Structure 1
């Protein structure tokens, strides 16, 4: 059974790409070195070969209307002596006739003095370098000198060996050092991978990583930012679950109470009345759930709600009418102030209703315990400095200033004793604060004008 290999590691990719281009650069440099070395070597040998041709040409004189080389055998050996190479010469007239020297040398082309010609020639199975020099005095002729090229090839090989071998060694050392350096540079990525693999599903704390490179640091920062967004999303889901539980508790309790009341009676009129109430409660619960879903999406995406003109006075009147039967049953004096004059604000009606419902729910449930005289809850709409202020106030014992920030936390409740605070905190006030933030309306919590009770104020148009 064959196993499929995974993709190559980052280290392998980096080494392959770097060494590939280094190898290509080395080959190109070697080719340049070979070409330059060969050119300079050939220039040096060709210069010496040309000097020999000039020396031989200087020994030519005219004898009886013919050109003759005036040099003894000993002198020719001295002229053409080379310890390692074979040197040949020949002299040809303008008609191509051999005047002196080796007949094996090729006949030169027509050269006008002082033209010269260098070329490679195979002579007797060996490679020679030949120079042909046109001479004008004492009479036009061409002198050719040929030298075998074995010494040139040897020097070129030695030049390549001494120049390219260190470069190859340097390339190997560089590859070894690159391997170690790349391993050190990508070590933070391995640490980051291990930290992410070992992370529990609910752990959104930042991933620690020691990064020496900007790329690894940026990657760790991006992962930590992602973890932060995931934590925010998980917090939003928890908030949504709690909000749903809180918002649906009251209508579901009302539906249950109305159903139980209807089951205890035989009168169809009572059934009809309770069914209407159940339908209305279900409608309010569905609307609340739809809005909570929309709020959760807005919270998740970080987008703002679209604010539209809302009649705040009408919303307050409807909220008071909804809670009036319950207030009468509890003996609470529930009233509204400032709703006789139309008051329009930029808001969202469902959020405004959610604020009023939560504040009135808290006030009727917790704000009437421990108060002096008849409990009073007042919803007011006031104009202050061109802004509209919506407030809900009770005459209960209130909350000490040192505990007000604590009461905004979910699940925290007042003790219910005078002086210790009795108004509910937790989900209700947390939702009021969150809704007010979405409406861009500052919210404040404090005591009433006489220092008694609990007062919440939301400022629209601030």
Structure 2
């Protein structure tokens, strides 16, 4: 299974790893640098202490002696943190003065022109020792002055220096981390803006994405998406043109076929062929209805966004369509009633497509309702424009409600082509309207279809003429 990868996390990881490496390397380097300068500072002090002891060495009658008063010795060894010991020995390491626990000078040293500093152990504790070799007089044996000191002060100073350096580095890492996080978010902002633009688009809005304020790297992505949108737009336009042209080309021969069938039916000798001619005429009607529905379906899929929709008076439009369908309802002895608020109800839409939406709802209600039944069209204005078409026919089974909006799906035998409610759904989606299907007013039977439209922003349309409150085919 492929794991999802985050570009932001990948960028932060790629930038953080070198930062951590540099911080660790700097910490190690700081440790050795601090150790060097701390040792150099205290080694210089030890060397000065050893040189001060040299002044107390005396030579009398070829005998070497050390004259160090007890008070001076106490001051020399006084220290709050470390233990300080010294010893003065001859070339044969014979102890002349001091403490025997002080380590002897190293034997492998060849150059004694400078003090020799080395690490040793003093009563089991790490210590630092400085040794100086002196020639009291020509021909006399050399004398070594050794001063040893434990490393408590050195460790304390190193800890203080490293702590200050570590705090500084932690602050630097935190500031750098915040900067990297902010920089990563800022760098990925164009991608988030692009994702928002794509997410807010309607499925039918295939116009190019704006790349005016994007970076060059992001513009490469937008150009690729725009190329894909262009190809998709051309494919959809080609498909719509094909459907529209095919439907238009079918209309003329179908009309001619229907006229010829009716003409033959009027001939005196056509009684024997009447059933076949009537079947031909009905098939021509159904095929003509199918082509008309295909035309509407093709028109309901234009490549345009909601900005091209115009204010439409849904009240006046609904009343007008109800009056157009009243004769067909009368043929089936059905009552068609319209109820509205009595004044214009404006929605953002396409008047032609809204006529087809309500026309298809009325066609279904009248075609599949019971004779001498009732069909009602109700328009509500508050809290949002809502158009409801209901009948008292057999209704739609609950198991089929989820499929009736599919193209070419039919509940049973009839003269329909299975595109009516599919067209209603397409037009509703184009207008960003919510469509719901349920039982009729009787509760146990009938069908009720509600189409709720988004409210039109205030001041988006001018005044419209009021229309009568209701119409009826009764």
TM-score by length of 2: 0.46
Greater length-normalized contact order (CA 8 Å, ≥ 6 residues apart): 2
